């Protein structure tokens, strides 16, 4: 546990909140699939002296002096990212996944051009052109869906028809709540037919691709990948863009990030990214990625056994999406709240063609990266799934919830959050 010595002396309100979060993370099970635990080394870099430094530009081409050490860390981050994702070019400066996507759009398109991406209600992301986002006012977004929500099969015939009709500049493969693997070869085939760029937003599965347990879109001819560096990669909160081989495209992306979208990069975060990339290059990271998938399949088996409907029929990756309202009569919001009471954190989530509202939907979304970081394996994943279902069924039974909370705490004590990964 961190001491936070200086904060404790200087700012008690912040200190209390920090200690509260430390205890919450240690004493509860994190199942939000977009969250994870960063190592102490990553957190040290994130809180380092590099937070003091302005570094507009890129290594060797900065606008301020005093850059000899910033150039070292950014160059290391770039080279390690290229190695992880089989890329010739990498931009490690985006402040987050959304920032990476927006910069990518401006690099590859002109205002008014069209993007063909996954519909939010079928697993896509807000930055793929949801009507409430600002980027939707700049570019034209059209959306494809699943053919069958109970298998997760994408309607590639419809995707091709939409591409032929709308002539998109970008065909976007990626998601935030989809549990199957995409057919990247079909995306490339369709994109070639209409002259579109292929972009994969791998924010959720970054670590699984880096670990070699899911397909790398570059192996199928994709042009660009955008991603976050936290989630399954276990780095600091941030974004990144990698380019397979097109030097001109990489130059356009660099200009779109800076000076196009951002000012000074957060060099402390870039230092933390470099540390996380080194961790992901270690042989034990592949073992970690393999275990994430095994744990997700173990949880899938319990939910299926208990007759709870899983969107896409199960999972090929790190997350699951369950229709708890249709199966158990509890809304996603209620499930999130009652599970929080026993120390299990996940998020409410819309299901495909959601009949309810986004703030009180039918589903829950949960995943295995963080619990796997704690060293939990299939037996613990099975137990957690059983405890989740028992909690939702006993949502009004205070005594039962207290008993479940004790079991959750016992798991947490047996599998503390680790400080180092290599």
Nearest-angstrom CA–CA distance, 115 and 175: 14
Give the dihedral sign, CA 335/337/338/341. Answer: positive
5 is catalytic: no
Nearest-angstrom CA–CA distance, 309 and 326: 8
Select from 251, 212, 258 the least CA-distant residue to 100: 258
Nearest-angstrom CA–CA distance, 89 and 220: 17
58 is catalytic: no
133 is catalytic: no
63 is catalytic: no
237 is catalytic: yes
* Catalytic residue selected from 114, 206, 226, 228: 228
Provide the total of helices (H) and of strands (E) in the chain, helices listed first.
16, 16
Select from 90, 136, 89 the least CA-distant residue to 114: 136
CB 361 within 8 A of CB 317: no
Q: Are strands 140-144 and 114-118 parallel, antiparallel or unpaired?
A: parallel
CB atoms within 10 A of CB 365: 26
Q: Are strands 29-30 and 344-345 parallel, antiparallel or unpaired?
A: parallel
CB 155 within 8 A of CB 144: yes
> Among all chains, which residue has been given the structure tokens 């081989």?
245
Which positions ≥6 away from 333 have C-beta within 8 Å? 348, 359, 360, 361
54 is catalytic: yes
The two tokens of residue 235 are 């780095």
* Catalytic residue selected from 74, 119, 201, 354: 201
Q: Work out the end-to-end distance of the chain between its first and last CA atoms, rounded to an integer number of angstroms.
A: 18
* Catalytic residue selected from 80, 231, 234, 244: 231
The Cα-based distances of 161 to 70, 169, 191, 377 in angstroms read 48, 15, 12, 43
* Catalytic residue selected from 82, 86, 215, 237: 237
* Catalytic residue selected from 22, 25, 56, 181: 56
State the DSSP code for 375.
Answer: T
| 235 phi, psi to nearest 5 deg | -100, -165
Catalytic residues: 54, 56, 201, 228, 231, 237
């Amino acid at each position: 546990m961190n001491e936070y010595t200086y904060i404790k002396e200087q700012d008690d309100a912040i200190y209390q909140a920090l200690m509260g979060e430390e205890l919450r993370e240690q004493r509860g099970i994190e199942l939000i699939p977009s969250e994870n635990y960063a190592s102490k080394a990553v957190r040290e870099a994130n809180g380092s002296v590099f937070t003091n430094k302005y570094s507009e530009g890129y290594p060797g081409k900065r606008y301020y002096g005093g850059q000899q050490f910033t150039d070292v860390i950014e160059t290391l981050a770039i080279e390690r990212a290229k190695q992880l994702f089989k890329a010739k070019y990498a931009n490690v400066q985006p402040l987050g996944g959304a920032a990476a996507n927006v910069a990518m759009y401006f690099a590859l398109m002109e205002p008014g051009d069209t993007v063909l991406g996954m519909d939010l209600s079928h697993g896509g992301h807000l930055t793929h052109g949801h009507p409430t986002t600002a980027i939707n006012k700049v570019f034209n977004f059209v959306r494809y869906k699943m053919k069958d929500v109970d298998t997760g099969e994408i309607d590639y015939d419809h995707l091709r028809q939409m591409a032929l009709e709308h002539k998109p500049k970008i065909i976007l493969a990626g998601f935030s709540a989809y549990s199957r693997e995409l057919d990247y070869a079909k995306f490339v085939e369709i994109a070639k037919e209409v002259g579109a760029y292929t972009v994969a937003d791998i924010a959720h599965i970054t670590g699984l691709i880096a670990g070699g347990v899911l397909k790398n879109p570059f192996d199928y001819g994709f042009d660009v990948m955008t991603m976050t560096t936290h989630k399954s990669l276990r780095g600091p909160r941030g974004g990144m863009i990698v380019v397979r081989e097109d030097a001109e495209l990489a130059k356009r992306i660099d200009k779109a990030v800076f000076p196009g979208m951002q000012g000074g990069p957060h060099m402390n975060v870039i230092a933390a990214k470099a540390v996380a990339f080194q961790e992901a290059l270690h042989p034990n990271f592949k073992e970690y990625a393999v275990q994430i998938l095994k744990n997700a399949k173990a949880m899938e088996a319990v939910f299926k056994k208990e007759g709870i409907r899983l969107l896409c029929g199960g999972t090929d990756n790190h997350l699951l999406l369950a229709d708890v309202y249709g199966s158990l009569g509890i809304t996603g919001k209620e499930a999130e709240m009652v599970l929080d009471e026993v120390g299990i954190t996940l998020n409410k989530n819309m299901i495909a063609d959601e009949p309810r509202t986004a703030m009180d939907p039918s589903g829950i979304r949960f995943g295995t990266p963080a619990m796997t970081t704690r060293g939990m394996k299939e037996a613990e994943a099975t137990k957690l799934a059983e405890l989740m279902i028992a909690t939702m069924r006993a949502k009004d039974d205070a005594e039962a919830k207290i008993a479940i909370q004790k079991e959750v705490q016992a798991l947490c004590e047996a599998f503390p959050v680790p400080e180092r990964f290599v």
